[in-house]
Amino acid sequence: MNWPQRILIVWVAAILATGASAADLNVFAAASLSEALAQVGADYGRATGDHVRFNFGGSGALVSADELRVDQLEKAGLIIPGTRRAILANQLVVIVPAAENSPVVSPADLEGAGIRRIAIGQPDLVPAGAYAREYLERLGLWEGVRRRLVPLDNVRAVMEAVGSGDVEAGFVYRTDALFSGRVRVAISVPLADGPRITYPVAVIRSTREPGAAKSFAAFLSGAEAQAVFAKFGFLQPN
């Protein structure tokens, strides 16, 4: 596996430090984190003088770092021991167009006659899609709805498809749905029943700037950043 040099994995994020007196951090992050991380990055830059730039995209197109992929990195010996920890959590929800009277009020309704298309992140590439598949399989609904599924590159694409009315329902994270006027939450998957969605942070062993990488990782789990994440609807990992 060929990883770029100077990487810090933060969920679905790669942070590269240049080695200058003020670190230059280029962050590749999941689209679902864009608003929260943009504010956190600005706060960090003001506090430290380091420069933080973000490239937001789908997990399938970036270095992916949900718990499963961080497991793979850890088993391959690519993570500095002791730097991995879960710092945030999220919740899976089913959304429908806000402007329509949707028949979806329970998971079983996804198999109903009024639901022809269900948007989902590509399960093999997008963590939100993998979580949705896990949930549907657990309920015994996967085979019944799989022909209706429209796999997309990321949760923001799912949000757009549902908000525009191109599909009747979609699976996204709670944080994605909270601030949209075009969609509404039809089903909130109970935390006790649904997949455990946590966001890990870890520092890659090959980093040439471990100090800068660890500093940013520590900031993400600190009180100031956590307050920002809470404002955007993220949950504590416990």
Q: Is the pTM of this model over 0.85?
A: no
Domain that holds residue 125: 92-188
Whether residues 102 and 175 fall in one domain: yes
pLDDT at 89 over 50: yes
Q: How many domains does the chain have?
A: 2
Identify the bridge partners of residue 95 per DSSP, sorted by sequence position.
Answer: 170, 185
- DSSP letters spanning 32-65: GGHHHHHHHHHHHHHHH--EEEEEEE-GGGS---
Phi, psi angle pair for 112, to nearest 5°: -70, 165
Whether residues 100 and 182 fall in one domain: yes
Q: What is the pLDDT of residues 217-236, one digit of tens each?
A: 889 899 999 999 999 999 98
- Give residue 73's pLDDT: 81
Q: Which of 93, 98, 94, 92 is nearest to 163 (CA)?
A: 98
In a domain, 2, yes or no: no
Whether residues 68 and 128 fall in one domain: no
pLDDT at 190 over 80: yes
